[in-house]
Every structure is written in structure tokens, then in C-alpha cells.
């Protein structure tokens, strides 16, 4: 994929109880709200599991992250479908022939409520 300033990359994911369980095993983040369903039978998704969404763009483009900033706006629950929109803000060649990238992102749930926003910067290997 060839990126350029102004590109907007959009994708979505629906989180499951299995996702939460796997993330607990990897991260050790097993707060009671991640293991005890609420009155609607949902678990709260770990914030950093939600934050994996914008990292997909990095993985798809061989980005070595230098910084990542997250602002968690509201909880995400199992069964929620999160739409992630990543905007390429900067994409330019560095002196060492690598390309630097800066992108912002906004994630919203199926009800169009914003759940996460932030940005990341890095280099493309």
C-alpha cells in the first residue's frame, strides 16, 4: 500500500468475550469488569485491547512506532463493533532513506459514539 498525506484508512472490528480472555492471558489485565459480565451480559474490553485497532495500519505498512498517544473516551463492551478511521497527517522521506509517518485516529462504536482517539508516529522500515 502506498500512503500519502490525507489518506484515510477505515476498518472495523467486533470484540468478543474470547478476545477479552486472550488479552487477559497476554496482559494480565483481569480487572473484575473484564471478567464479570454487567447486567446486559457484556464484559468491558480492556482499553489497550481497544487501542490495538489503530496499530493495524502500522502492521500493514511496516511502521516501527516511536510514539503512540491514546485518549479513552468511553468504555467498549463485548459485542460492540468499533469503526477505526486513521488519517495520514505526515509522510515524508528522512535523511536515512526511511519514511517518517504521523497519523491521527478516531474510533467510534456502532452507535457513532466516539470511544478512542489519538495519534501515532514512527518510521517505515
User: 21-65, pLDDT tens digit by residue?
Assistant: 999 999 998 888 899 999 999 999 999 999 999 999 888 988 999
Q: If we measure between CA atoms, which residue out of 108, 113, 118 comes closest to residue 10?
A: 108
> Is the pLDDT confidence value at 1 over 90?
no
Three-class DSSP category at 57: helix
Does 69 reside within a domain? Answer: yes
> What is the rounded CA–CA span in Å between residue 29 and residue 23?
7
Please report whether residue 109 resides in a domain: yes
Per-residue pLDDT at 73 exceeds 90: yes
CATH number of 54's domain: 3.10.129.10
The label of the residue with cell 464479570 reads: 36
Question: Do the domain assignments include residue 25?
Answer: no
**Is 81 within the bounds of a domain?**
yes
How many structural domains compose the chain? 1
61: phi then psi, degrees, rounded to nearest 5: -125, 15
Which residue segment(s) compose the domain that 110 sits in? 8-15+46-124
**What single string gives the DSSP state of each residue in 87-110?**
EEEEEEE-TTS-EEEEEEEEEE-T
Instruction: Tell me whether residue 92 is in a domain.
Output: yes
Residue 1, in any domain of the structure:
no
Amino acid at each position: 500500500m502506498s500512503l500519502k498525506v490525507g489518506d484515510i484508512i477505515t476498518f472495523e472490528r467486533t470484540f468478543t468475550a474470547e478476545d477479552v480472555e486472550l488479552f487477559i492471558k497476554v496482559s494480565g489485565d483481569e480487572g473484575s469488569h473484564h471478567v464479570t459480565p454487567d447486567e446486559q451480559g457484556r464484559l468491558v474490553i480492556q482499553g489497550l485491547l481497544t487501542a490495538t485497532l489503530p496499530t493495524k495500519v502500522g502492521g500493514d505498512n511496516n511502521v516501527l512506532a516511536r510514539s503512540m498517544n491514546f485518549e479513552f473516551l468511553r468504555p467498549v463492551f463485548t459485542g460492540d463493533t468499533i469503526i477505526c478511521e486513521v488519517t495520514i497527517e505526515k509522510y515524508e522521506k528522512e535523511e536515512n532513506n526511511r519514511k517518517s509517518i504521523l497519523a491521527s485516529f478516531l474510533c467510534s462504536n456502532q452507535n457513532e459514539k466516539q470511544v478512542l482517539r489519538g495519534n501515532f508516529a514512527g518510521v517505515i522500515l
